[in-house]
Amino acid sequence: MKEPELEGKLYGVLKLGNGQDQLITAVTGKEKGQSVIYVDANNDEDLTNDGDGRWNGELSGWGYRRRVTVQVDYSIEGENVALPYHVYIDATKDRPGPAGRLKYHAWFGHCHRAGTVKLDGKPYDLALFDTNSDGLYSDLENTVLAIDVDRDGFFLTTPDSYELWRPGELIRLGNTTYEVVSISPGGREIDFSVSEEEVPPHPILLPSYPAPDFRATDLKENELFLKGLRGNAVLLYFWEAPCPTCSSKSRASQIQNIYDRYKEKGFIAIGIPMNSDRAVLESFLEREGTTYPQLWSEEGRENPVAKLYRVWSPNDMIYLIDRQGIIRYKNSYHADGEGFLHYNEIGTEQLIKIVEGLLEQ
């Protein structure tokens, strides 16, 4: 391996693909007093011929980041084929020696394959995402599929997207249900089969679209039917009660205060807890004085209402629905624009203002 002259070298290796040479080498250290990173991006065992070693930027003052496209070897029908793969490399700042840390990872949304597929008699743009950063798309348990369902030339890849399918999910397009049978290791080929199982298409969980209807039973055995709540402003809160010894500071308590203030004016708050342990949940609710309905399921994070709204983890997801059953606001890390609220910017006063606006409609 040919490499540059650096002070305080720290080496790293990233294993990708399934071909002849699955190891991509990198070295970081000091060059003329500056922290640098050299990556064998073309995988020719030479760290000096892949451009300069400059980092792309800093990470909030604590480290450095480099985005690089590497050539990954894949074994395809007995032949070795090199295909590009995007990788991010992080390192702790000013610590290029043994005490430092070098971390390799592929960010979801950047390491993908894109192409076109014909389904239900129509061509669709399609993308594959390798979620465990091993460069193998054939691992169906760690490959996410995106289809440009509305054909707007854009993949909506938020976790709750109607254009995103998680591993194992059946795909409904038009009148046909499909399942993914296999994907080639490099992600250039994908095989589908028609499934006899009937599944609904993904709901569009965006502001100005109808909130998906559901019927569920709360902890007090009361049945709630979302469509039956028309005429009220509704807040759906997907959450998880903390452990008994955890801090009681929570959005659940914030919502309780708003519920107490406006429940007589047509405001309904509904919690969808994702705890599998009912005792932990009920202990928290009693301790906090939480009285609005909780649609608990012993399935925990597989709560049917959470699955309907494509909430995969207890991330304090909120939907605010108007009196006509239309989603008007939701919180998100990924989107902006009218109707989107950033997770870190939702305060009590902001929620009160929104609720009052919905009640005035």
pLDDT of amino acid 102: 54
pLDDT tens figures, 37-68: 999 999 999 999 998 888 887 766 667 888 88
The stretches in the chain having pLDDT less than 70 are 59-62, 92-110, 243-250, 314, 333-335, 344-345
Query: Which pLDDT does position 108 carry in this prediction?
Result: 43
pTM of the model: 0.84
Three-class SS of the chain: CECCCCEEEEEEEEECCCCCCCEEEEEEEEECCEEEEEECCCCCCECCCCCCCCCCEECCCCEEEEEEEEEEEEEECCEEEEEEEEEEEEEECCCCCCCCCEEEECCCCCCEEEEEEEECCEEEEEEEEECCCCCCCCCHHHEEEEECCCCCCCCCCCCCCCCEECCCCCEEECCEEEEEEEECCCCCCEEEEECCCCCCCCCCCCCCCECCCCEEECCCCCEEEHHHHCCCEEEEEEECCCCCCCCCCCHHHHHHHHHHHHHHHCEEEEEEECCCCHHHHHHHHHHHCCCCCECCCCCHHHCHHHHHCCCCCCCCEEEEECCCCEEEEEEECCCCCCCEEEHHHCCHHHHHHHHHHHHHC
Q: What are the pLDDT digits (tens) for 107-121? A: 444 578 999 999 999
